[in-house]
Amino acid sequence: MRIGIVNTGNIGRALARAWLAAGHEVMVAKDGGQQKLDAFIEQNPRAIRGTPGEAAEFGDVVLFSVYWPRLDAVSGAVGPIDGKIIIDTMNPLQVSSDFEHFYDAAFMARSSTSEELQRRFPRARVVKAFNTIPSNLLDEPLRWFAPGSLPAVFLAGDDTSAKVQVRTLAQDAGFTALDAGPLTSARNIEQLNVLVHLLADNQFEGASDRIAPAVAVAAGAPIR
Ligand SMILES: NC(=O)c1ccc[n+]([C@@H]2O[C@H](COP(=O)([O-])OP(=O)(O)OC[C@H]3O[C@@H](n4cnc5c(N)ncnc54)[C@H](OP(=O)(O)O)[C@@H]3O)[C@@H](O)[C@H]2O)c1
């Protein structure tokens, strides 16, 4: 399968590695500084480099993994994504004027990042996935979990055949996927990620590398 990744950050790099290893063709792209992408391409020469617009055009599947406050700017640089699958990994983390990150509760009460993406790309088949899986878990799953007992990836989307394909891509990255229903269920999955962060902060002492067990607790998976 051809997969385009917009923007390729922590999550995009980890999934690109997994999908390249599974034999997919992957185009990686990001706006802004290119240094992290340069290093990624050097270590993963089968990855193809493109602009965000080129990656969206290249992929049968387009992974949207954009820092949420950047969505308008990035999606404005991408043409129509008609008929294709968009996987949305985003969480609605906003940034305050003093650079503190916070979940935008008012936004979360009425929408989700996935529904916003669907509005921007009305003829794409948007599927929520991977937003509750922290990048350190994607990078080193066996540090945290026994083989075969990784926490699930939760899916939401209105197009059943798109969810079947995203389920396969989750399996290619080592995960099982559980279907939470229509795209509006993305709201609930984004709320679950708020719980994950609360668990990481309180049950696991706020250590950022302890977020993986917090996910496991939220998803009911056994940890080592
Ligand atoms: N990290 C996680 O564990 C995790 C887990 C699940 C879902 N998510 C969600 O998935 C999406 C991508 O996450 P990620 O961790 O992969 O993102 P990231 O690496 O922090 O950033 C993704 C892209 O946005 C750019 N970016 C980051 N901060 C920015 C800023 N302040 N201003 C402008 N551009 C910025 C990055 O560029 P640079 O690389 O040049 O900074 C990169 O191209 C987000 O919506 C996030 O909420 C993250």
Mutate to test the pocket of ligand 1, among 6, 8, 10 (most ligand atoms within 8 A of CB): 10
**More confidently predicted of 9 and 134:** 9
Asked if residue 191 belongs to a domain, the reply is yes
- Identify the pLDDT of residue 184: 98
Q: Which has the closest alpha carbon to 187: 132, 108, 87?
A: 108
Alpha-carbon separation of residue 78 from 2, 7, 53, 86, 87 (angstroms):
17, 11, 4, 12, 15
> Residue 198's CB: how many other CB atoms inside 10 A?
12
Q: For residue range 11-22, what is the model confidence (pLDDT) as tens digits? A: 999 999 999 999
In this model, does residue 48 exceed pLDDT 80?
yes
Atom of ligand 1 nearest to the CA of 91: 47
Mean pLDDT of the chain: 91
The finding on whether 94 has its CB within 6 A of some atom of ligand 1 is no
Asked if residue 201 belongs to a domain, the reply is yes
- Identify the pLDDT of residue 182: 98
- Those residues with Cβ within 8 angstroms of residue 156's Cβ, 6 or more apart along the chain or in another chain: 114, 127, 128, 179, 180, 181, 182, 183, 184, 185, 186, 188, 189
- Identify the pLDDT of residue 219: 65
- Identify the pLDDT of residue 137: 84
**More confidently predicted of 152 and 203:** 152
- Identify the pLDDT of residue 145: 80
Query: In this structure, what CATH number is given to the domain that contains residue 183?
Result: 3.40.50.720
The total domain count for the chain is: 1
The model's confidence at residue 209, banded by pLDDT at 50, 70 and 90, is: low
Report the C-alpha gap between 104 and 35 in whole angstroms. 30
Report the C-alpha gap between 55 and 4 in whole angstroms. 4
**More confidently predicted of 115 and 217:** 115
Residue whose CA is at the smallest distance from ligand 1 atom 1:
135
Q: Give me the domain span that covers residue 191.
A: 2-219
pTM of the model: 0.94
The finding on whether 30 has its CB within 6 A of some atom of ligand 1 is yes
Backbone angles phi, psi at 24, to 5 degrees: -80, 160
Q: Which has the closest alpha carbon to 53: 84, 74, 25, 24?
A: 74
Report the C-alpha gap between 91 and 68 in whole angstroms. 7
The finding on whether 10 has its CB within 6 A of some atom of ligand 1 is yes
Asked if residue 199 belongs to a domain, the reply is yes
Helices (H), 102-177: 105-110, 113-120, 135-139, 141-144, 160-172
The finding on whether 114 has its CB within 6 A of some atom of ligand 1 is no
The finding on whether 194 has its CB within 6 A of some atom of ligand 1 is no
Given a contact cutoff of 8 angstroms between Cβ atoms, the answer to whether 127 and 166 are in contact is yes
Asked if residue 224 belongs to a domain, the reply is no
- Identify the pLDDT of residue 222: 59
Q: For residue range 79-117, what is the model confidence (pLDDT) as tens digits? A: 999 999 999 999 999 888 888 889 999 999 999 999 999
Report the C-alpha gap between 84 and 80 in whole angstroms. 10
In this model, does residue 6 exceed pLDDT 90?
yes
Given a contact cutoff of 8 angstroms between Cβ atoms, the answer to whether 122 and 131 are in contact is no
